[in-house]
Structure 1
Amino acid sequence: MAKILVTNDDGIHSRGIKAAVEALQGLGEIYVVAPMFQRSASGRAMTIHRPLRAKRISMNGAKAAYALDGMPVDCVIFAMARFGDFDLAISGINLGENMSTEITVSGTASAAIEAATQEIPSIAISLEVNREKHKFGEGEEIDFSAAKYFLRKIATAVLKRGLPKGVDMLNVNVPYDANERTEIAFTRLARRMYRPSIEERIDPKGNPYYWIVGTQCPKEALELGTDMYVVKVERKVSVTPINIDMTARVNLNEIKRLLEL
């Protein structure tokens, strides 16, 4: 029987991770290791300057489940140390889309990337949300039915056939208004999703403090064939194949000549 790891960056109490476990029922033994707390935008951060604490919890549909007071990447490492190898790793279902080259900021995508570096076929799956307040909540009001449908469909195919050569993970984004009849499109990463800036505010004592904020790239600037165009304009499910080798595909002699070495 297949062994499936489920993790996320929204935390162990997110309805998204429970929806993922529900979607995967019958495909194998499911093990859940997820952060105790919200860890969005943690990227590939790893906890190495203090010990980790883990608490075993009960979760319907999981053979074993742990809440870890670390980052999503820590969860993958902990799961492999505790349970051994896995046949598939799922990160999500995330509250809010994870698209463009900025997936390296995402704890959801980074957990899948970490699993992929351990040679585990991996899927990061995120559900677009249409209200900002949902992105950092637990998803109480969100309908996960379409995301569950596509997760099960894609996970079943990967378990049966594996990933193509040169593909380490799949990054999946589901529009909030998707249903089972929504088309799937195979895409490449957009250049970027947000235009970040710093917002300065003043506390009651007159001292400045700062928030990193960002505005999403306008739809008219999106490039055809990218994950963002497919989700934001065409309203389709985006599936982007990811290779974790970030080496530029160029003739290395060109770099040698450029640097005059």
Structure 2
Amino acid sequence: MATKKKTPAKKKSAAPKVTGKGKPVILITNDDGVTAPGIMNLVEAVKDMGKIVVVAPDKPQSGMGHAITIGHPLRLQKVNTFGDIEAYACTGTPVDCVKLAVDKVLHRKPDLCLSGVNHGANHSINVIYSGTMSAAVEAAIESIPSAGFSLLDYSIDADFSGARKYARMVVEKMLTTKLDKHTVFNVNIPALPADHIKGLKICKQAYAKYEEDFITRQDPHGRVYYWLTGEFVNFDKGRDTDVWALANGYVSLVPVQFDLTNYVLKSKLEKLWK
């Protein structure tokens, strides 16, 4: 008696994936907002290097660090800011942008995540507060090699020629180097024309910080408010730091990580605190 063949179970179809037809998929975000000149220059620098998808905040989110939105809904709005490049404005933080991009836009992890170009420095301790770098760190947590780019110029009319040149250079190296999936680069570019920059230096993060002060003022109703000010102070006199490199006309690249464990102290405590 012939046995009846079982019909193979149908596989559930996966959500559609953004593909670059052999090209790497590159997610671009920032913290200055989807219409900021910095992100436009970053897209321009690398747009031929892969399938580019932009998901960035709909408004400035500087200084947000690694904040996520949990108290109200998030929205994505498709925008035409970058011509034929797929782009979305997100109502959330830079970290929200990365999370939503992976889960709801790409339906996959991109090959690279780029954040910036930030308007202003993210060297030394600034990496802790930076929304630009937190987006890059979030990508690395999700096993996506990433880099954050910052230009030491807050002007809306800043010269981004150096930033475009060195962002492209770094991305080329990232695409041609076998990197750990948790790689994060913090790249800062001095406020100089491209032909005045001396080159790229691999650096460590300087021990430098803002000596802060809060100015006390009154609003028109007589209520007291405070305005944060401060002076940047570099305590690290080494010539291998990001602050030194930038002050001397170089682009700085610092490999950073999200594992905050102090391994030296851990080893000491394991012996002392038995």
Aligned mates of 1:178, 1:241 — CA distance in 2: 24
Which residue of structure 2 lines up, in the alignment, with residue 144 of structure 1?
A: 160
1:119 to 143, 148, 151: 143
Q: Which amino acid aligns with 1:128?
A: L
Which residue of structure 1 lines up, in the alignment, with residue 56 of structure 2?
A: 34
Which residue of structure 2 lines up, in the alignment, with residue 52 of structure 1?
A: 74
Which residue of structure 1 lines up, in the alignment, with residue 109 of structure 2?
A: 85
The percentage of aligned residue pairs carrying the same residue is 36
For structure 2, the residue ranges without an aligned partner over 5 or more in a row are 1-22
Which residue of structure 2 lines up, in the alignment, with residue 207 of structure 1?
A: 223
Confirm or deny that 1:76 pairs with 2:98: yes
Confirm or deny that 1:9 pairs with 2:31: yes
1:175 to 163, 176, 190: 190
Which residue of structure 1 lines up, in the alignment, with residue 152 of structure 2?
A: 128
Which residue of structure 1 lines up, in the alignment, with residue 242 of structure 2?
A: 227
Q: Which amino acid aligns with 2:90?
A: L
Higher relative contact order (CA 8 A, sep 6+): 1
Aligned mates of 1:61, 1:125 — CA distance in 2: 22
Aligned mates of 1:43, 1:51 — CA distance in 2: 20
Q: Which amino acid aligns with 2:251?
A: V
Displacement of 1:10 in angstroms is: 0.3
Structure 1 stretches of 4+ with a deviation exceeding 4 A read none
Q: Which amino acid aligns with 2:244?
A: Y
Confirm or deny that 1:24 pairs with 2:46: yes
Cα RMSD (Å): 1.9
Displacement of 1:7 in angstroms is: 0.3
SS of the equivalent of 1:193 reads strand
Which residue of structure 1 lines up, in the alignment, with residue 210 of structure 2?
A: 194
2:261 to 240, 247, 250: 247
Displacement of 1:145 in angstroms is: 1.0
For structure 1, the residue ranges without an aligned partner over 5 or more in a row are none
Q: Is the 8 A contact 1:21 1:61 kept in 2?
A: no
Aligned mates of 1:28, 1:166 — CA distance in 2: 18
TM-score (normalised: structure 1): 0.89
Q: Is the 8 A contact 2:159 2:193 kept in 1?
A: no
